[in-house]
Amino acid sequence: MVTSQTGTRSVSTGIVAWCPSEAAPHRYSAISSPGPSDCREDSVDFCLEQRRLLLRDSIRDFVKKECASTFVREIDRQAEWPATLYEGLAELGYLGILFPEEYSGVGCDALDLALVAEELSCGCYALAVAYRQSIVLGGMSVALGGADDLKREVLPSVAEGKTTLTWALTERDISSDAGYITTVARPEGGGYVVNGTKMFIYGADRADHCTVIARTSGEPGDRQGITVLLVPLKGTPGISMRPLRKMGTWPVKAFELQLRDVAVPATRVLGTVDEGWSLVRGVLDLEYIASAASSVGISQRMVDDASAYVKQRVQFDTVIGKFQAVAHMVVDMLSDVELMRYMTYRAALMHAQGLPCTKEVALAKLYCSRSSERVGKNGVQVMGGYGYMAEFDMERNYRDSRREAFASGSSLELHGLVAKLMGL
């Protein structure tokens, strides 16, 4: 087991300093090298309130202390779940930031989520994926759709890091379009019996419960008849998993999840039976913001690493950053990241203000995932053969960044969604 090199969890700013005001309404009350550098210190703060700046700086401080390159590189090499890092997030209160205060949460909003996802991805992308899978996809499904008793049972334990969740929407033939899912939940004995197969379930081996999207009525292609259920994974008869080998994000394993006559109590239904699409859409809006922010964070890290490299690498008695062709590539990388950040923060702020923003969050995820690929490609090119070597972070970050082009919604699906919202 790989352990973090620092033994302390203290940060310069405690959780109380960045909590929202008690008077503020909760956004989710109902469904509707050696580590990260400081290259961003001079960038504009987008008029963020003081508490948001404190939140950003505190999570950035955690990442600097806990996510040293050697440590992150080693857990990636060993494909080991980032346990000590995840525990550290729990100890500092970051796992509960989105949950309502009455369920041991903090009551933060989508812009706060974007700040956290960006900073985590800059230091350890796999940690950000683990965070999003349990807190955003799994946890917010419960927070937005669960009955009060279920919220009290699950959310405090998730916020404390004692319980881990995951999410199961994608299927082999339908990707992430919930309208075409074939997994079925039929009523039986006061509950439901679930049958189907889900794909690309990240962290299923670690999760205690899984949010499963299933059809309870209607036909494929119909978004009516969708129901969301919270299914216990550990020790539940009828559940089996097949590990999937993948390109990157090795510490967080992915699985094919098979459900064969899995009994689920009616108390585990999230939202309304047959009307789960609105819950799925609400959770995906948050996940798209987190996805875009993760692309920003990992891309910023690749810019930082490329910039540091070209200032040190010497050829023909000159640092290569002085060569115009090389310098221009790094500038292109930076310009991509700055626009990515703007689109992400704008979408997140619209969500935090309660404005309709499905188009904006989809555009942010779409643009950021595609731009992150371009940033990584340029970063590897700038570093030449070293960019292809596993002893440098650029290789891992480029691999990992590719995940955002299809996770929780592929680029093709997002194009289709935005086109529909444009009336095309």
36-67 burial code (b ≥16 CB/10 A, e <16): bbeebeeeeeeebeebbebbbbbbbbbbbbbb
Backbone angles phi, psi at 158, to 5 degrees: -65, -45
What is the C-alpha separation between 196 and 61, in angstroms, rounded? Answer: 43
Q: Alpha-carbon torsion 276, 278, 281, 282, what sign?
A: negative
Q: Quick one: 278-421 is in which CATH superfamily? A: Butyryl-CoA Dehydrogenase, subunit A, domain 3 (1.20.140.10)
CA distances from 16 to 92, 134, 237, 396 (A): 10, 23, 43, 35
Across the chain, how many H-helices and E-strands are there?
Answer: 12, 10
Of 413, 386, 349, 297, the residue nearest 36 (C-alpha) = 297
Quote the pLDDT of residue 179: 76
Residue 292 C-alpha from the chain's centroid: 9
Give the three-class secondary structure for 408. Answer: coil
Quote the pLDDT of residue 7: 44
The dihedral formed by the CA atoms of 97, 369, 344 and 56, expressed in degrees to the nearest 10: 40
Quote the pLDDT of residue 380: 97
Of 282, 291, 257, 251, the residue nearest 168 (C-alpha) = 257
Joined together, the tokens standing for residue 181 give 């899912």
| Domain regions of the chain by residue span | 33-159, 165-275, 278-421
Quote the pLDDT of residue 20: 56
What is the C-alpha separation between 400 and 376, in angstroms, rounded? Answer: 10
* Strand 226-232 relative to strand 209-215, pairing: antiparallel
What is the C-alpha separation between 71 and 276, in angstroms, rounded? Answer: 41
CATH of domain 33-159: 1.10.540.10
Running along the chain, 424 residues long, what does each successive block of 10 average in pLDDT? 50 49 38 45 64 93 96 96 96 96 94 98 98 98 98 98 97 78 94 97 97 93 92 96 97 98 97 96 97 98 97 91 95 97 97 95 97 97 94 96 91 91 93
**What does the chain come to in residues?**
424
What is the C-alpha separation between 320 and 297, in angstroms, rounded? Answer: 25
Tell me the residue type at 215: R
CATH code matching the domain that covers 165-275, chosen among 2.40.110.10, 3.30.70.260, 3.40.50.300, 3.30.365.10: 2.40.110.10
Tell me the residue type at 20: P
Say which DSSP state 89 is in: H
DSSP, residue by residue, 224-277: TTEEEEEEE-TT-TTEEEEEE--SS-TTS-EEEEEEEEEEEEGGGEES-TTBTH
CA distances from 37 to 188, 370, 382 (A): 56, 24, 18
The answer to whether the CB of 230 falls within 8 A of the CB of 203 is no
